[in-house]
Amino acid sequence: MERTLVIIKPDAVKRNLIGEILRRFEEAGLRVAALRMLRLSKQQAQGFYVVHKERPFYDSLCSFMSEGPVVAAVLEAQGAIEKVRALMGATDPEKAQAGTIRAAFGTSIERNAVHGSDSPASAAFEIPYFFSALEIMETP
Ligand code: UDP
Ligand code: MG
C-alpha cells in the first residue's frame, strides 16, 4: 500500500471545502490514515516547500500557505500518489482537466486548493513533516 501527503490549502479551508475535498478522495478509494488541522508559520511553510526555494513564486507561496489553517492528511491506496495527482488536476486550475479538484475549486496557479506529493521521495519527506509514526493509523 502506498501513502501520500495531501494538504487542503488555506483558500479551500476558508471556503468550507474540507468535507467536499476529502469526500472526493474517499470516494475514489483512498483511505484516510491520518488527519490534522493546523496553521503553518511562514517558516514552517518555507521548510515544507524548500525544494522550491529558488523559484520566483516561493515567497508568495509560503505567505499564502501560512495565511490561515490547513488540513493535512495521509491518504493510502495502491498507487495513492498517482491517484491523488489525477484527482487534483494540473497545478494551474485553468489548465486542469474538467472534473478535477483544482478545476472545480482553484482560483489561481497559486491558490489551487490542494497539495499532493508528486513522487515516493516527496511523500517520504512530506508525511513525517506533519505526522509521527504513532499518528498514522494502520488498516483497521
Ligand atoms: N505555484 C505558484 N506559481 C507557479 C507554480 C506553482 O504559485 O508558477 C504554487 C502552487 O500553489 C503549487 C505550489 O506552488 O501548487 C507548488 O508548485 P509545484 O510545481 O510543486 O506544483 P504542484 O506539485 O502543487 O502541482
Ligand atoms: Mg509539487
Helix (H, G, I), strand (E, B) or coil at 67: coil
Cell of 85: 495527482
Which of these, 50, 30, 21, lies nearest to 126 by C-alpha position?
50
Q: Is the pTM of this model over 0.85?
A: yes
- pLDDT for 37-95, tens place per residue? 999 999 999 999 999 999 999 999 999 999 999 999 999 999 999 999 999 999 999 99
Whether ligand 1 lies within 6 angstroms of the CB of 110 is answered as: yes
Domains of the chain: 2-131 (3.30.70.141)
Element (H, E) at 22: helix 18-27
Q: Is 52 a catalytic residue?
A: no
What atom in ligand 1 is closest to the CA of residue 118?
Answer: 23
Whether 111 lines ligand 1, by a CB cut-off of 6 Å, is: no
- CB count within 10 Å of CB 91 equals 13
- pLDDT at position 10, please? 99
